[in-house]
Structures are given as C-alpha cells and as structure tokens.
Structure 1
Amino acid sequence: MIRSADIREWRDHDVVDPKGHKIGTLEAVYVDTSTDEPAVATVRTGLPTRQRLVFVPLDEAVLGPGYVQVSYAKAEVRKAPSIGTDDVLPADQEESIFQHYGMPYRPGVNGERQLARR
C-alpha cells in the first residue's frame, strides 16, 4: 500500500498490472476521507493526443523501482470509469468506480464523498 507520505514520490511512475503489463502513468491519488489512507489512483492512458484518466484501487498495490503494480488486470482497468486529463471526479460519479471493481461504496453519514484527491 502506498503511504500518504510517499504519494508525491510515485506520481508519473508507470502503473503495471499483476503480469507486468503497463497500464499507464500514475497521475494522482485519491484518499479515503474516513481514514486519509490512499484508496484509488488515476492513471493516464491513451495516445498522446487522446489521453484520459482511469481509476484503479490501490488495495494490495506493490511499489517497485519506477513503477506501481496494482492487483487488477490491464483490460479491467482500461474499462474503468474515467475523466478527462483536466477534469475532476464529479461527486455523482464516485460510486461508479466502486461498482466497477465490485467494492462497497461508503459515503459519509451526511452524504460526504468517500474520496478526496491528494
């Protein structure tokens, strides 16, 4: 798992799947608002002229020299919810990330978002 203090060091590193296939480049990390622990990353994918940011959970992520290995296959990540490279995650689309990966979505008691970008 990526620690909060390490987040900035891993930006712009390759993100690879369990078989070592490159998915893209780590763009940003979203933390769980209830624990302030890294939960999801955005990964820059696509052609240089048509890039987008896809979301991938960081549970069981492994850090290596110059890469972050996630526990999801490249094909699954590429089909995940995405945003444009200059966009932010709309609150009403947050739950779709969790649904895509079969994870429970737990907003705050008063409807607060579960994810916050760091």
Structure 2
Amino acid sequence: MITREQIPAVLDHPVYDDHGNKIGDANHVYFDDTTGQPEWVSIRTGLFGTKESFVPIHDATVAGDHLEVPYAKDQVKEAPNVDVDAGGHLSENEEHRLYEHYGIDWDAAWQQTGGTPAAAERTGEDTRTRADDAMTRPDDAMTRSEERMHVGVERRATGRARLRKYVVTEEVQQTVPVRHEEVVVEREPITEENRDAALSGPDITEAEHEVTLHEERPVTRTETVPVERVRLGTEERVEEESVGGEIRKERIETEVSGEAGEIDETGETGERRR
C-alpha cells in the first residue's frame, strides 16, 4: 500500500500497468475521509494528457521513479469518466461505478470506510512543496490554476489512389497502295515480221486462250511494344493552419474593508468597483 510519505514520489511520475506498459502520469491522489489512507490515483491519459482516469492505489507499488498498478492499460483508460474538478471529492455514485469497473466488492469496501467517499487532499505542486509540514499545520493558502493549450499534429488517412490498367480499342485508318490486273486486248496488224507466226497454225479452227488476273489486297497485323512506365508516388506539402481553443483560468478575489480587488496572473492586486 502507498503511504503518505510516498505521495511526493508518485505525483507527476509515470504509472505503468501490470504488463509494463506506460498508462500516463499520476496527477491527483485521493484519500479516504475516514481512514486517511490513499485510495485512488488519477492518471493523465489521452492526447496531450487531456483526460484523467482513476485507478485504485491500495494495491499499487512504487518501483524506482514510477508507480505500478495491477490493472491493464486498456482497463484503466476505459474507466468511468469522473470530473476531477468537482470539489476534490468523489461522490458515492462515482466511487460505486469505479469499484464495479475494477471488479471490487462495493458493499465491503463501503462498509469498511464507514460510507465516506474519497477526497483529493493534496495535488500537484502543493504536495511536493509542503509535504513535510502539511500534517502539522492547516494550509491557509489558495491555489490558483489555469489551463494551458498544447498543440500538436496527428497523421490520418485522407484518401487512396491506385493505378488500374485496362484495354481500349481504337479505329486506325491508314492508306496503302494496292495493285490489280485488268484484261487488255492487244491487236496488231500482219506485217512481214509476224507473217510466219500468223500462218504457222491451221487455216480455220476454233481455239481458246486465257490469262490469270491478279490483284493486291491490304492485310494488317499487330504487335505489342512497350511505350512507357507509370508508378504512383507521394510528396509532402507544408501548409500553415491556425488552431483555436478555449482554456479556463481561475481568478482570486480578496475583500478588504468592503473593497474588492482582483489578483491577476502576476499576483498584482487592483481595485475594482462593486
């Protein structure tokens, strides 16, 4: 069990689960109002530590510079949401939901503590700076806190691109010269040069003579040749974007002789009319 003397060594230090996975950093320690023993620790989780998850501390151990709890990281991060700013106390309903989430017997634990919810007696810097004398004198100081905005970037998928090859058919026209043969009747008169050839046959007879005609016709063939290579790549472009958000700040007022002043972040007090 964690003792009060170990609280300064726990706050703002890493918290690990039972498998050695870091859950986050311890932010608050809640004590039981009756027994005065540490009962819960809130852990900053989520993006930039913007979420706090509660986990029982009575079975936790301090190992070196970190705290180890006997619960899995996912179980802690999925714990019921509890408002840590609600007066520094856990309500009966909040503790009931937390006990059920971690499988702890609510009735037995409630009777053991006398029916009192846990309270955050000390948090953050107050514990570290006043750990020695917090048990001997009442704390008459008031802590003023404010939220700070941390801006980061996250990488997410915005779309997908792919290459797909498909086949299309195009009509191609090309002109090519073709040749063909036609019948031409040639007549020549009888001359001294061809008289012997003309009289070499019978005088009167029937005869036939034929020739074969030829023509050219266009034919096509195709061949596949590579023409280019295409691939997908990515390139990064940097753009400036403005990010806005709301942060809360606490203000402290003091009343002196009926006049009120407001203490700002620098600690200076100014008059203000009521």
TM-score over 0.5 (shorter chain): yes
Report the AA paired with residue 83 of structure 1.
Answer: V
Q: Is the 8 A contact 1:52 1:83 kept in 2?
A: no
Report the AA paired with residue 98 of structure 1.
Answer: Y
- Following superposition, the deviation at residue 90 of structure 1 comes to 5.1
2:53 maps to what in 1?
54
Report the AA paired with residue 120 of structure 2.
Answer: R
Q: Is the 8 A contact 1:59 1:71 kept in 2?
A: no
Q: Is the 8 A contact 2:90 2:119 kept in 1?
A: no
SS at match of 2:52: strand
Report the AA paired with residue 53 of structure 1.
Answer: E
Whole-Å Cα distance in 2 between the matches of residues 116 and 80 of structure 1? 18
The answer to whether the aligner puts 1:12 opposite 2:12 as a matched pair is: yes
- Following superposition, the deviation at residue 31 of structure 1 comes to 1.4
Percent identical across equivalent pairs? 32
1:76 maps to what in 2?
75
Whole-Å Cα distance in 1 between the matches of residues 66 and 9 of structure 2? 11
Report the AA paired with residue 18 of structure 2.
Answer: P
TM-score, normalised to structure 1, is 0.83
Per-residue CA distance 1:9-59 (angstroms, 9 max, x = gap): 3100000001110001001111122211111110000111x6111010113
2:104 maps to what in 1?
103
2:119 maps to what in 1?
116
Per-residue CA distance 1:77-103 (angstroms, 9 max, x = gap): 11112235x623551322111111121
Whole-Å Cα distance in 2 between the matches of residues 2 and 90 of structure 1? 19
**Structure 1, unaligned runs of 5 or more:** none
* Greater Cα radius of gyration, structure 1 or 2: 2
Report runs of 4+ in structure 1 exceeding 4 Å deviation.
Answer: none
SS at match of 2:99: helix
Whole-Å Cα distance in 1 between the matches of residues 30 and 12 of structure 2? 15
2:183 maps to what in 1?
none
| Aligned positions, number | 114
Whole-Å Cα distance in 1 between the matches of residues 20 and 99 of structure 2? 23
**Structure 2, unaligned runs of 5 or more:** 122-274
Q: Which has the higher strand share?
A: 1
Q: 1:2 to 1:90 in 2, by over 3 A?
A: closer
Q: Which has the higher contact order (CA 8 A, sep 6+)?
A: 1
Whole-Å Cα distance in 2 between the matches of residues 83 and 25 of structure 1? 17
Report the AA paired with residue 16 of structure 1.
Answer: Y
TM-score, normalised to structure 2, is 0.38
Q: Is the 8 A contact 2:17 2:23 kept in 1?
A: yes
